[in-house]
């Protein structure tokens, strides 16, 4: 996610307030916020979910819809997302 520089503090506040709820959402095993070393306006969220169904349940929740609406208006450009599968057997 790339944010307008003046919106970074707002995003960090939204994440701080919502991260506990996300971590407690059924099926969420891990959630991290990462920041690009070369561009401080670029952030990544990294999460591990028990299954794709758990992730979809979160994405379809009212909580996600509310937080996403608050977050996406802060972007400098459209966000990208990937769903990945571990290849190390765990």
The CATH code of the domain that includes 68 is 3.30.70.100
37 in any annotated domain: yes
> What total of structural domains would you count in the chain?
1
Q: What is the pLDDT of residue 84?
A: 87
Q: What is the pLDDT of residue 89?
A: 63
86 in any annotated domain: no
Percent over 90 (pLDDT), the chain = 90
12 in any annotated domain: yes
40 in any annotated domain: yes
83 in any annotated domain: no
DSSP for the chain reads -BB-GGGHHHHHHHHHHHHHHHHHSTTEEEEEEEE-SS-TTBEEEEEEES-HHHHHHHHTSHHHHHHHHHHHTTBSS---------SS--
28 in any annotated domain: yes
67 in any annotated domain: yes
* Average pLDDT score over residue span 30-50: 97
Given a contact cutoff of 8 angstroms between Cβ atoms, the answer to whether 81 and 64 are in contact is no
Q: 54-76: per-residue pLDDT in tens?
A: 999 999 999 999 999 999 999 99
| Structural domain span for residue 19 | 5-72
Compute the mean pLDDT over every residue in the chain, rounded to the nearest whole number.
95
| pLDDT at 47 > cutoff 60 | yes
């Amino acid at each position: 996610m790339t944010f307008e520089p003046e919106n970074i503090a707002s995003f960090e506040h939204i994440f701080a307030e919502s991260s506990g709820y996300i971590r407690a959402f059924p099926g969420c095993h891990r959630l991290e916020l990462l920041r690009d070393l070369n561009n401080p306006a670029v952030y990544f969220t990294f999460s591990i979910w028990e299954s794709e169904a758990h992730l979809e349940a979160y994405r379809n929740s009212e909580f996600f819809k509310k937080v996403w609406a608050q977050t996406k208006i802060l972007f400098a450009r459209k966000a990208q997302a990937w769903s990945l599968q571990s290849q190390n057997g765990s």
